[in-house]
Chain A
Amino acid sequence: MEQRGQESAPAEAGPRQRRLLGLACLVVLLAGAAVLSLVIGARSLSPAEVWQGLFGDPGTDQRLTEITLIVHTLRIPRTVLAVVAGAALGIAGALIQGHTRNPIADTGLLGVNAGASFTVVLAVYLFGLQNPIQYMWFAFVGAAAAGVLVFGLSSLGRGSGNPLTLALAGQGVTVFLAAMTTAVALGNKQSLDVLRFWNAGSVQGVGFDVIGVAAAFVAVGVVLAVLNSPALNLLNLGDDVARGLGVNIAASRTVGVVAVTLLAGAATAACGPIAFLGLMVAHLARWLTGPDYRWLVPYAGLLGAVVLLVCDILGRLVVRPAELQAGIVIALIGAPFFAALVWLGKFRQA
């Protein structure tokens, strides 16, 4: 089953159909999860009520007005954000593991999470911001700046072709920024308070203004990722082979890293650092489709969206009426599940 991916040529109909079927299944799963996400929450609504809230005219009925408000300002934004951010992190995870050739590379590796956390803490410390909407913009800037810094540093000279340099430079910048973040937070209670909630990673409480910007970045990132996948297939044969087959290594790496930064940066800025999702989804997708990135990228995107959405729904259920942040649920539930699959030997080195 796992070997199939390598044997399949585009001409073979069997595996291709199976993969398309898999994609269709994921789409159905995603749609089902999205419906559940609209229905389930602190106040449970029946599907009929959600339908009314979505399309009905509330008129003067107070109960209906309330439902409309809940659906439009709470449930729809968080559902959309979970899908967008989940897809972004899933694709980013697949790309970063491909480009660093490291099975434990996560979407935070390029410094994106650390950069966002640092600017958020700094903004709270310097300007006393309280509202997530305000410091979210700082998170965008921080994530992008850290990504650019890591890529710039690792591509000085002739480094852009070297996966190890990229991973280690990312790690170096990440710990540096994380330490600076802690240093600021230790000296300032307000920053520390914001930081601990920020670190949990949640898709809740974000409006469509932020989601719109994030989605725009993610859209560009997805396009770059799709364009990048044929070259990434060749790069994973080794740089020498890829060069021999006519791949412009520096250009492909640049496109890949820019895509990862856009995808992970936008998701992180909108949700906070959600760790482990990208790593887990990349392995799951590779297990399902094999190592061909043309299939891996869509699979990872859909899987990421499904996992984040389901984890967000679970987070609303486990500690009712309170909520558990999606980032925490992913690690608490997703990680043991993932570990079990690892133990069963389902994954292999890329």
Chain B
Amino acid sequence: MTTEMHSGVRIGAWSWVWRPWIVLVTTVLAALTFLIFCVSISVGDFTIGLDAVFRTLIGQGERVDEFVIMDLRMPRALVGLIVGAALGISGALTQSIARNPLASPDVLGITGGASATAVFLVTASGGAAITSSIGLPAAALTGGLLTGLLVYFLAWRKGIDGFRLILIGVSVSAVMQALTTWLLVLADIRDVARAQSWLVGSLDARSWTQVWTTLWVTIALVVVVLVISFQLRPMHFGDDVAAGLGVRYSAVRAVLLLCAVLLAGVAVSAAGPVPFVALVAPQITMRLLKSPVPPLIASGLFGALLLIGSDLVARLVLPNDMPVGIVTAIIGGPFLVYLLVRANMKRAA
């Protein structure tokens, strides 16, 4: 870490530090995400040229393209975008609050709760639940949120403490995972296959209604997060320093953690428990941005990029509809390891 001076920018009452590298990387990430988004819309059973995609997006495309893009492909891509962003931001918040790079919404019990509920529904109904598109996501969302809130309240004792939070979260997640495993052991093997494919997370067959609910809830939560997030940075110095700098850390932490739980819950309800995005997005963006703390916006962008990029790879390269959750892990895992190794080699040189 080199300490170099950054020039400040001041406009009226507002001032901030001008960090060209962070702005550059964030912009590149945003541009890449948009590009992959367009490519993701353009390819499918038949390919629509990128120029036609752009024209349709600004409302001047042909009717055939418009139907395919707006009705068939857009919902899937948009849900991928929103879910990825929600997971990325949720992960960045969790890791900041817990001050632990291994923390993620999985640790908060949301994924575990959603999985246990979904598997219970699938195995109890003999697979009927998986065919009705409304029942399963709603039940998973309920299970995930209830578990997340359970962790939240169990960890609450005169405020939220990061250490207590993750240990309680790990315990509750372990219970939920054990329940899931137990249900799978007892179940019929055909139901197991169905449950397993849901457990990985998928973007298949999304509708516009799903897009809108997911979008509005996510936007509302992200706005809350961004408004409060200026208080997040001092909290990395520890509670005492944060209090000294005028941060009401207990309140800030409680609200931000609630936002993280809800963001992850929204993501799980829309796409199933997509693993790893929330954990890896903040860690990778920290290294790309050379930032000492998990950056919020860039994590969201990278989460979105990872998810729709993986979806694209799953559809283009891999055989027979591999669920997107598998691809995020297969791409994200090695990429994280690559960044770590590269940093180590640099340190050695």
Chain B residues within an 8 Å CB radius of A279: 170
The CA of A106 and the CA of B171, in the complex, are separated in Å by 12
Query: Which of B32-40, B172-180, B211-219, B300-308 interfaces with chain A?
Result: B172-180
Within the complex, the shortest CB–CB distance from B347 to chain A, in Å, comes to 5
A335 at the interface (CB under 8 A from B): yes
Chain B residues within an 8 Å CB radius of A158: 344, 347-348
The CA of A106 and the CA of B172, in the complex, are separated in Å by 15
Enumerate B306-340 residues with CB–CB distance to A below 8 Å.
320, 322-323, 325-330, 332-334, 336-337, 340
Chain B residues within an 8 Å CB radius of A172: 280, 332-334, 336-337, 340
Query: Which of B62-70, B129-137, B159-167 interfaces with chain A?
Result: B159-167
Sample 22 A-B pairs with CB under 8 A, ordered by A number.
A156-B345, A158-B347, A159-B347, A165-B340, A169-B340, A174-B333, A175-B276, A175-B279, A179-B329, A182-B200, A183-B326, A183-B330, A189-B189, A192-B189, A199-B184, A328-B182, A330-B178, A332-B179, A335-B172, A339-B167, A343-B157, A348-B163
Within the complex, the shortest CB–CB distance from B167 to chain A, in Å, comes to 5
Query: Which of A8-16, A97-105, A126-134, A258-266 interfaces with chain B?
Result: A97-105
Would you give the 0/1 interface string for B191-216, flagging 1 where the beta carbon is closer than 8 Å to chain A?
01100110010000000000000000
B102 at the interface (CB under 8 A from A): yes
Choice from A105, A157, A276 contacting B102 with Cβ under 8 Å: A105
Are B101 and A164 in contact (CB-based, < 8 A)? yes
Give chain A's interface secondary structure class: helix
Are A157 and B275 in contact (CB-based, < 8 A)? no
The CA of A104 and the CA of B283, in the complex, are separated in Å by 17
A242 at the interface (CB under 8 A from B): no
B77 at the interface (CB under 8 A from A): no
Enumerate A230-279 residues with CB–CB distance to B below 8 Å.
275-276, 279
The CA of A332 and the CA of B180, in the complex, are separated in Å by 11
Are A336 and B182 in contact (CB-based, < 8 A)? no
Beyond A175-B276, A178-B329, A179-B275, list 13 extra A-B contacts (CB 8 Å): A102-B100, A103-B163, A162-B344, A168-B340, A174-B333, A179-B276, A183-B322, A196-B192, A328-B181, A335-B178, A336-B171, A339-B167, A349-B163
A186 at the interface (CB under 8 A from B): yes
A76 at the interface (CB under 8 A from B): no
A119 at the interface (CB under 8 A from B): no
Enumerate B48-105 residues with CB–CB distance to A below 8 Å.
100-103
Are B326 and A335 in contact (CB-based, < 8 A)? no
Would you give the 0/1 interface string for A152-167, flagging 1 where the beta carbon is closer than 8 Å to chain B?
0111111100101101
Chain A residues within an 8 Å CB radius of B196: 182, 185-186, 192
The CA of A335 and the CA of B326, in the complex, are separated in Å by 28
B281 at the interface (CB under 8 A from A): no
B241 at the interface (CB under 8 A from A): no
Chain A residues within an 8 Å CB radius of B197: 186
B25 at the interface (CB under 8 A from A): no
Choice from B181, B184, B325, B349 contacting A327 with Cβ under 8 Å: B181
The CA of A339 and the CA of B168, in the complex, are separated in Å by 5
Are A179 and B326 in contact (CB-based, < 8 A)? yes
Nearest opposing residue in chain A for B179, CB measure: A332
B235 at the interface (CB under 8 A from A): no
Choice from A157, A178, A196, A342 contacting B344 with Cβ under 8 Å: A157
Choice from A103, A155, A193 contacting B192 with Cβ under 8 Å: A193
Chain A residues within an 8 Å CB radius of B245: none
Chain A residues within an 8 Å CB radius of B154: 339, 343
The CA of A102 and the CA of B95, in the complex, are separated in Å by 13
Chain A residues within an 8 Å CB radius of B167: 103-104, 283, 338-339, 342, 347
- Contacts A176-B333, A179-B326, A279-B170; A168 near B189 (Cβ below 8 A): no
Enumerate A137-154 residues with CB–CB distance to B below 8 Å.
153-154
Within the complex, the shortest CB–CB distance from A176 to chain B, in Å, comes to 3
Are B326 and A168 in contact (CB-based, < 8 A)? no
Chain A residues within an 8 Å CB radius of B320: 187
Are B193 and A186 in contact (CB-based, < 8 A)? yes
Within the complex, the shortest CB–CB distance from A79 to chain B, in Å, comes to 22
The CA of A125 and the CA of B304, in the complex, are separated in Å by 33
Are A343 and B185 in contact (CB-based, < 8 A)? no
The CA of A276 and the CA of B155, in the complex, are separated in Å by 18
Are B177 and A331 in contact (CB-based, < 8 A)? yes
Choice from B103, B185, B193 contacting A200 with Cβ under 8 Å: B185
Would you give the 0/1 interface string for A309-350, flagging 1 where the beta carbon is closer than 8 Å to chain B?
000000000000000110110111001101100110101110
A74 at the interface (CB under 8 A from B): no
The CA of A276 and the CA of B326, in the complex, are separated in Å by 24
Enumerate A98-121 residues with CB–CB distance to B below 8 Å.
102-106, 109
Are A331 and B163 in contact (CB-based, < 8 A)? no
Choice from A173, A185, A342, A343 contacting B337 with Cβ under 8 Å: A173
Chain B residues within an 8 Å CB radius of A338: 167, 171
The CA of A137 and the CA of B166, in the complex, are separated in Å by 35
- Contacts A104-B102, A159-B344, A343-B164; A176 near B330 (Cβ below 8 A): yes
Are B193 and A189 in contact (CB-based, < 8 A)? yes
Within the complex, the shortest CB–CB distance from B34 to chain A, in Å, comes to 27
Are A331 and B178 in contact (CB-based, < 8 A)? yes
Query: Most chain-B CB neighbours within 10 Å: which of A167, A182, A325, A330?
Result: A182
| Shortest 8 CB-CB contacts between residues of A and residues of B | A176-B333, A157-B344, A331-B178, A179-B329, A159-B344, A157-B348, A339-B171, A157-B345
Are B166 and A104 in contact (CB-based, < 8 A)? yes
- Contacts A104-B103, A193-B192, A343-B168; A175 near B178 (Cβ below 8 A): no
Are A168 and B336 in contact (CB-based, < 8 A)? yes
B10 at the interface (CB under 8 A from A): no
Chain A residues within an 8 Å CB radius of B340: 153-154, 159, 165, 168-169, 172
The CA of A174 and the CA of B329, in the complex, are separated in Å by 9
